[in-house]
Amino acid sequence: MGHVKTQIILKNLDDAKQAKKGKLLKREIRQAEVEVMVDTGATTLIINEDLFQQLGLDAMEEREITFANDAKEICKLTDPVEIHWEDRSIAMPALVVKGASEILLGVLPLEGMDLMVDPVHQRLVGAHGDQVVYLAKKVIFCGVGL
């Protein structure tokens, strides 16, 4: 199918909440615009240690994960991070993989933002066109069961 890459904006959810309450200026929200590899074989958002530090995220817990090559590693699971793609967004935990050379956008954030891969044009598109279809009235958090 080829590789699908796209730009997303990641924001520290706690900072965004503080800005919404007027306790922090919007320009003080820790955020990063990053190129990601869309990986429908990955479960969630996978980031590296540098991005974890840059966004000022906290770890909820550590978990042992198994990679596609059967290698195992203990990784941090972060507090929710805001993921923005064009006019769509979702907040969910990220998995911090030490030494990750690429940021991966997995299936849970894709489904949460009602996105899918267009394999012909190698890009992300709305699963239901331009209209976002949510099962709930408003999706603001998606738990991850790895």
Looking at residue 45, which CATH number applies to its domain?
Answer: 2.40.70.10
Nearest to 142 by CA among 106, 97, 96, 104: 106
At residue 103, the pLDDT reads 97
The yes-or-no verdict on residue 73 having pLDDT over 80 is yes
Is residue 145 in some structural domain?
A: no
Domain span at 43? 5-130
Is residue 63 in some structural domain?
A: yes
- Count of the separate structural domains present in the chain: 1
Give the amino acid at 89.
S
Considering the entire predicted model, what is its pTM?
Answer: 0.85
Distance CA 79, CA 143 (A): 10
Is residue 64 in some structural domain?
A: yes
| 137 close to 69: Cβ distance less than 8 angstroms | no
Is residue 123 in some structural domain?
A: yes
The yes-or-no verdict on residue 137 having pLDDT over 60 is no
At residue 67, the pLDDT reads 83
Nearest to 107 by CA among 6, 7, 38: 38
Is residue 138 in some structural domain?
A: no
Is residue 25 in some structural domain?
A: yes
Q: Kindly report the number of other CB atoms within 10 A of residue 132's CB atom.
A: 16
Is residue 15 in some structural domain?
A: yes
Residues 20-57 have pLDDT tens digits of 999 999 999 999 999 999 999 899 999 999 999 999 99
Residues 122-131 have pLDDT tens digits of 999 988 877 7
The yes-or-no verdict on residue 100 having pLDDT over 70 is yes
